[in-house]
Amino acid sequence: MEYSKLSAGLEYFESVDFNFYSIVRDVMYLCNTLIVDKNVKLEVDLDTSIPEILVGDPSKLSQILLNVLGNAIKFVEKGDIHLKIMQHEQSGDQFVLEFDITDTGIGISEDNLKHIFDSFKQAELGTYATYGGSGLGLSIVKQIIEKLDGQITVESDLGIGTTFKFTLPYKKGNDTKILKGKINPNELEGSSELVKGMRILVFEDNILNQKLIEQRLRIWGCITYITDNPLNGLAILENKRVDIVLMDLRMPKMDGFEVTKRIRKSKNGYVREIPIIALTADFTIKDKDQCNANGINDYILKPYSPDELLSKLLKNKNNMETIHAIESNIISPRTNKIDKSPKIDLAIILEECMGEVGLLEELVTLYKQNALEFIGQVKLHLKNTDFNQLEFATHKIKAGLAMMQTFSLHKIVEQMHKICQTEKDIKYLEFLYDCFLMEYPIVEKAINMELENIRRNRKQ
């Protein structure tokens, strides 16, 4: 993750009416999906006197919660993670919420605790590859909280657990300012079949929203491309068949109106006509005019229910034929951790190693070295727009990826290789590289687990 993207979170702060409970619910839902194969229990204890509708920045709140809870999930193998939300210091319609996140994880040493909020070192490749870049880093979290006039503290005992506490001030909000979709769920029964196979490109920079929308769309059998990078998104539109675009109006690098303008100016007639649905939290009349003026077809107010999303997709699908696309041909970035690990079968390779686990281990080490070298080199060649070197690097790694049966990575690299030889589209290559970066840690984890299984079986 680039530093620019991390710091970008500090530039946009909004103050809108939002449903606090639905943010907490969404965050908890998502965090639960991050807990895989672990004996970890995630609980929330919420002071129910907190008003349902608050005024503040819902997106920042979810980012903060996801980051702190995400860390807890990472560092607890077994035990509890407890989120407690309390209401303090009421004066008029203003009050402070206190969030306590306690875990029974590995804890943090005293030395590390001193620096835990220190300025985030530029997210290095290693960090990115290991964690998939989903975290903001606690220093950014602290900066966001302080910009919102809150405070964050931490207490931890090594081997026992950690508690992060933070406060954020809010005002009671106004329900009527949140427009609600008038949808009768009965009308939608069975409709999700109608969006199956639809290819949907989502421009969205908020990680929580990215993951939620991806989950929803995937459940309905849609094929999703999700990006927070407008230029990558535009490249996807030019290179892939997309049926509908969902557009977050507020993105740090280029706002949704600007992206829409560019889509409507495309040389490709199909792209120019593509239905665009805006996603927005604060929909004002001005925006509505702007929507019309900028060629946005429809809008959905955040937070929205699955039914609202489904109904908008159906409405804007028009007469477009639904394609039951073959997923295997589609490359989309995983918003990592949600997906189950890919199945890696090292047994065949072990056979080729004549049953020598030591040899297999060497191959795996070599594989990892090659992959990391590839990641480093491609980053550089992309920066220099050096298609020859890119072609060479992608060619070089292909065989190893195939040998290790890591087909999800192989597919991405093969596509990159092809683009180097044909269209030479740097934006699309960057997108594919992002896909690789997100996929690699998941694959590596699956390999490690498989290797561990083989070792264990040997010992028995």
Q: Is 435 in the site for ligand ADP (CB under 6 A)?
A: no
| Contacting range for ligand ADP; rule: CB under 6 A; set: 7-15, 69-77, 302-310, 387-395 | 69-77
Nearer of residues 257 and 440 to ligand ADP, judged by Cβ: 440
Query: Measured from the CB atom, is 94 or 109 closer to ligand ADP?
Result: 109
Q: How is 228-254 classified by DSSP, letter by letter?
A: S-HHHHHHHHHHS--SEEEEES--SSS
CB of 339 to ligand ADP, least distance (A): 20
* By the rule CB under 6 A, 437 interacts with ligand ADP: no
Integer Cα distance of 376 and 39 in angstroms: 36
H or E, element range at 256? helix 256-264
Binding-residue total with ligand ADP (CB under 6 A): 15
Which of 444, 398, 393, 440 is CA-nearest to residue 128?
440
User: Is there binding between residue 63 and ligand ADP (CB under 6 A)?
Assistant: no
Q: Does 104 bind ligand ADP (CB under 6 A)?
A: no
H or E element, residue 190: none
3-state secondary structure 280-332: ECCCCHHHHHHHHHHCCCEEEECCCCHHHHHHHHHHHHCCCCCCCCCHHHCCC
Kindly tell me which of 127 and 322 has the beta carbon lying closer to ligand ADP: 127
Q: Is 12 in the site for ligand ADP (CB under 6 A)?
A: no
Q: Please tell me the distance from the alpha carbon of residue 247 to that of residue 261, in angstroms, as a whole number.
A: 12
Minimum CB–partner distance for residue 131 and ligand ADP (Å): 5
* Distance separating alpha carbons of residues 207 and 248, to the nearest angstrom: 12
Q: Which helix (H) or strand (E) segment is 122 a member of?
A: none
Residue 126 beta carbon to ligand ADP: minimum distance, rounded to whole angstroms: 10
Residue 406 to residue 342: CA distance in whole angstroms: 8
Q: Does 35 bind ligand ADP (CB under 6 A)?
A: no
In the three-class reduction of DSSP (H, G, I as helix; E, B as strand; rest coil), residue 158 is classed as: coil
Residue with Cβ nearer ligand ADP (134 or 192)? 134
Closest alpha carbon to 7 in 147, 151, 205, 143: 143
Is residue 103 near ligand ADP by the rule CB under 6 A?
A: yes
Helices and strands, counts by H and E, the chain: 19, 12
CB of 46 to ligand ADP, least distance (A): 20
Q: Which is nearer to ligand ADP, 112 or 453 (CB)?
A: 112
131 belongs to the binding site for ligand ADP (CB under 6 A):
yes
| DSSP letter, residue 355 | T
116 binds ligand ADP (CB under 6 A): yes
Question: Does 392 interact with ligand ADP (rule: CB under 6 A)?
Answer: no
Strand partners, 169: 96
- Asked if the bond preceding 303 is cis, omega within 30° of 0, the reply is yes
Residue whose CB is less far from ligand ADP, 8 or 106: 106
One residue of 105, 173, 333, 441 binding ligand ADP per CB under 6 A: 105
Is residue 162 at the binding interface for ligand ADP, with CB under 6 A as the rule? yes
What DSSP designation does 113 have?
A: H
Measured in degrees and rounded to the nearest 5, phi and psi for residue 50 equal -65, 130
Is residue 132 within the footprint of ligand ADP (CB under 6 A)?
no
If binding is defined by CB under 6 A, does position 21 make contact with ligand ADP?
A: no
Look-up: residue for tokens 């990115």? 128
Binding flag, residue 152, ligand ADP (CB under 6 A): no
- In angstroms, give the least distance from the CB of 175 to ligand ADP: 35
Between 68 and 331, name the residue whose CB sits nearer to ligand ADP: 68
Judged by CB under 6 A, which of 10, 44, 106, 353 binds ligand ADP?
106
Contacts to ligand ADP by CB under 6 A: 71-72, 75, 103, 105-108, 116, 127, 131, 135, 137-138, 162
